[in-house]
Amino acid sequence: MKLFLKIITYLFHPLFIPIAGTLAYFLTTPRYTPIEFQSGNILPIFILTVIIPIISFLILKNIGVINSFFKPNASERKYFLYIGISLLLMVVYNVIPNNYAIELHFYFIGLISAAFGAVVLLFFNFKSSIHLMGMGSLLMYLICLSVHFEINITIALGLVILATGLVASSRLYLQSNGRLALLVGFMLGAISQLLTVKFWL
């Protein structure tokens, strides 16, 4: 059980949420999107939100700035969030404007808002769950895409809800987050996406 829950934690790591939402957009949109348009978004977003953060965290660990990649303390978590916000801003200002998709634009605005909220909470010594923040963002974004494009993605929504429950269970079982941290993290992600809806839905 412990191994299974650890795998769940790794599979649904917050690093993968930006690219997951990007792929979700291209899989659900009824608009014709040329391969060039898709690759112009997917590849740079993957590099900026997955590859570069991993390299950055490895460098920080090697120079002794952080001690743990999976269980950072409050001060270490700030570095994760600062790097994440900076790279998400690069996506918004450098990637998406060149291959503009309004749904993706505001998805990343929501992710930035949620991460900023997590940083603010850290100044009050409260560690919200970044894992659940990511899952909340992805789930709400999928719901909004379903309404926006008027398509039935019930199976996908069900799978994401199941995954969210598994992630929450794994964080509790591994004693990485408390119940309040999980709830606040999920609400941060979901509400941040919900607040962007009026600009594109």
**pLDDT tens profile 135-150:** 999 999 999 999 999 8
**Residue the block writes with tokens 């992710």:** 111
Q: Which pLDDT band, with edges at 50, 70 and 90, does 78 fall under?
A: confident
Please name the helix (run of DSSP H) or strand (run of DSSP E) that holds residue 34, with its range, or none: none
Per-residue pLDDT at 68 exceeds 80: no
Confidence at residue 69, expressed as pLDDT on a 0 to 100 scale: 64
Of 117, 93, 91, nearest to 18 by C-alpha is 91
Weakest-pLDDT range from 25-34, 50-59, 101-110, 112-121? 25-34
pTM: 0.92
Task: Give the tokens for residue 31.
Answer: 């608009």
